[in-house]
Every structure is written in structure tokens, then in C-alpha cells.
């Protein structure tokens, strides 16, 4: 079988169009990412993920952003609301053991939700360390503002996801917490010196460097480069692979974000040439997906090996009593809501 292309693409709506089906079959991107526009209810979503895999002829990873809080693509009334990272952190500050337990249970329940409709990877947890004066794009999505707490809860979150057969993607490496602008709208420039970053922002990623997948931050780290880390070979090598020691699968954040400029094919090429293993593009417009496919290449070498490891993280589901877990989760949230 031919190796898949080094990209993840979005889809336009709640059903797979004939053109999208043909594209998935012929282009064979490594994965697909879903958004709220693709989600109606459980039956529809299960049918969509089945059709994606039928079109591709393999058990591809299907991604979603299901952090909880503000970032939750599967919403009520069909799915329960989950706490934000900051809400988990609030419990953790009061009781570390309970904080870890609640974070594990929340993510184990999320995994159960996702797996039931055929989604096998969650772009979570967020490891960014928020800093005073930063843009609110991260804020309450973060697991607090303390490195030790972020690491502790992120371990619990990843364990909950993987126990449910859902591969986690940590984000946004090497750290988005100092950005003073939203990278969806403009290119952040982070002016902190290397030592400061090594002692703060980089730490959560270094301490979770065994995560199977990580998503880049579209930001410039000015002590190292004048180019966004996603498309800077120097930054990817020196900051992420060397300073942080991350050797898992590295995917770009969405190439459509305004932090990056230029043609999608060229942006895809630049991200992959810089050292990203996978280019992520989320618009769901077929013309955009075609441009990304043109800039991609068949996975090979270390990138292919990293992709294989990531896929294996969604292969095994441990035994789970949903009713008991939900009852415990709700009771702990109730106790710590006062």
C-alpha cells in the first residue's frame, strides 16, 4: 500500500460529498480533522467517520479539538459540557490528588464520547503556560499557570484519552503562553530570551516529550529566528527537537491562520521542509485541500515511523464503566464547585 500524504485536511459539512470521497481515495492524506460544521448528532457523525474510512480504504486517524471549556466541537445537547483547563487547575490547587483524578476522568469520558462516533485523536491537552499581558486566546484553556500542575494534569489527561483509544496531541509547542496577539489573526513575536523560555514555557513540553503528537505554535521566538517556528527549520531543530527534546510526530497548527502568509501549497512545502512531519489545513474547502496535497509528500523515514507510533496510541481501549465514571466525575465537580 502506498504511504499516505504528509497532511491532515478538513471537510466541508455533515456529509462526505462525492468530490471529497474521490479526493480522499486518490490523495490519501494521513488524517482528517472535524469541526463543528461537520457535527450534527451521534448517528450522523458515526456515519461520516465510517464514510471517511471507507473512502480511504484504511483505518485513518480522525482528529477533533475537544478540550472542554471554550474549545469543544461536540456540543450539548448531544454531548455533555466538559470543564476548561482552568477549571481542572482550580480543583488541583485545592487538592492535587482529586485534581488529577478529575482531569483523568474528564478525558476518559471525552475519549468514550469520541471513540463511540469514530473519532480517534483529540488535539488536547494544552501545555501552554499563560503569562500576564498575553492575548486571551490561551487563558482559561491552559491547565493553570504553574508548570508542575500543568505537567501533572496533562499526564492525567493523556492517560485518560489513551485509555479510551484516543491519541492525544499536545499543543502549542514550544509554547504560546506569551503571545500578545492571536495567531489566528496575526503573527505573534515572543521576545523572551532563551534562558527565560528554557526555565518556563518550554518546561511542560520537555517534561511531556514522550507525547505521541505535538502541534506547533505559529509564533516567532525572536532570540532564535525572524520566522514563525512552524516554517523555521532552525527553530524546529534547535528549540523543539534539541532544547525540548521532542522526537514524536510534529504537526503544524492550521496553515490557514493569519500568522502565516502566502499560497497554501507553498506554506505546506515550507512547513514540511522546515521539519514538520504533517501539515494541518482545516478550512474544509476542497480547493484548499488540493493545494495542500500538491505541497505534501508521501510519509517516509522517521516521519512515517512517528506516524505509526501515533496511530498505535489509538489501537487499544481499556475496560470502562461509563455510568460509574460519570457519577464519580459529577460528584467531584459538585464538591469542588462550592
- List, by residue number, the catalytic residues: 184, 253
Contacts of residue 43, defined as CB under 8 A and 6 or more positions apart, other chains included, come to none
Contacts of residue 61, defined as CB under 8 A and 6 or more positions apart, other chains included, come to 30, 31, 120, 121, 167, 310, 311, 314
Question: Which letter does DSSP use for residue 15 in this model?
Answer: S
Beta bridge partners of 220: 189
List the beta strands (DSSP E) in 2-42.
5-10, 29-34
- For helices 147-163 and 85-94, angle between their N-to-C axes, nearest 10 degrees: 110
- For helices 286-295 and 18-27, angle between their N-to-C axes, nearest 10 degrees: 10
Q: Is 302 exposed, middle or buried (0-12, 13-18, 19+ CB in 10 A)?
A: exposed
Of residues 244, 250, 242, the one with CA closest to residue 213: 250
Amino acid at each position: 500500500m502506498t504511504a499516505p500524504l504528509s497532511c491532515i485536511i478538513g471537510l466541508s459539512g455533515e456529509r462526505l460529498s462525492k468530490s471529497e470521497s474521490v479526493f480522499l481515495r486518490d490523495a490519501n492524506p494521513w488524517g482528517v480533522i472535524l469541526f463543528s460544521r461537520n457535527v450534527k448528532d451521534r448517528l450522523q457523525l458515526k456515519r461520516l467517520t465510517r464514510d471517511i474510512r471507507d473512502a480511504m480504504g484504511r483505518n485513518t486517524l480522525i482528529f477533533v479539538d475537544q478540550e472542554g471549556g471554550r474549545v469543544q466541537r461536540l456540543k450539548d445537547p448531544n454531548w455533555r459540557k466538559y470543564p476548561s483547563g482552568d477549571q481542572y487547575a482550580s480543583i488541583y490547587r485545592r487538592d492535587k490528588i482529586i485534581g488529577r483524578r478529575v482531569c483523568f476522568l474528564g478525558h476518559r469520558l471525552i475519549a468514550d464520547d469520541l471513540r463511540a462516533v469514530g473519532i480517534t485523536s483529540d488535539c488536547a491537552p494544552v501545555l501552554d503556560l499563560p503569562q500576564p499581558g498575553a492575548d486571551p486566546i490561551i487563558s482559561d484553556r491552559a491547565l493553570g499557570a504553574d508548570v508542575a500542575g500543568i505537567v501533572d494534569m496533562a499526564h492525567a489527561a493523556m492517560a485518560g484519552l489513551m485509555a479510551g483509544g484516543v491519541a492525544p496531541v499536545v499543543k502549542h509547542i514550544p509554547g504560546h503562553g506569551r503571545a500578545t496577539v492571536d495567531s489566528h489573526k496575526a503573527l505573534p513575536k515572543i521576545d523572551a530570551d532563551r534562558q527565560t523560555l528554557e526555565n518556563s514555557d518550554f518546561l511542560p513540553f520537555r517534561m511531556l516529550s514522550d507525547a505521541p503528537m505535538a502541534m506547533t505554535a505559529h509564533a516567532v521566538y525572536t532570540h532564535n529566528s525572524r520566522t514563525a517556528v512552524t516554517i523555521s527549520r532552525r527553530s524546529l531543530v534547535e528549540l523543539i527537537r534539541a532544547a525540548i527534546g521532542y522526537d514524536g510526530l510534529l504537526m503544524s497548527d492550521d496553515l490557514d491562520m493569519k500568522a502565516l502568509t502566502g499560497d497554501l501549497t507553498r506554506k505546506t512545502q515550507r512547513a514540511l521542509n522546515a521539519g514538520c512531519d504533517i501539515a494541518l489545513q482545516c478550512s474544509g474547502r476542497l480547493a484548499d485541500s488540493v493545494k495542500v496535497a500538491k505541497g505534501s509528500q508521501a510519509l517516509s523515514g522517521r516521519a512515517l515511523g512517528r506516524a505509526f507510533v501515533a496511530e498505535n496510541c489509538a489501537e487499544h481501549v481499556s475496560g470502562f464503566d461509563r455510568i460509574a465514571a460519570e457519577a464519580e466525575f459529577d460528584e467531584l465537580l459538585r464538591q469542588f464547585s462550592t
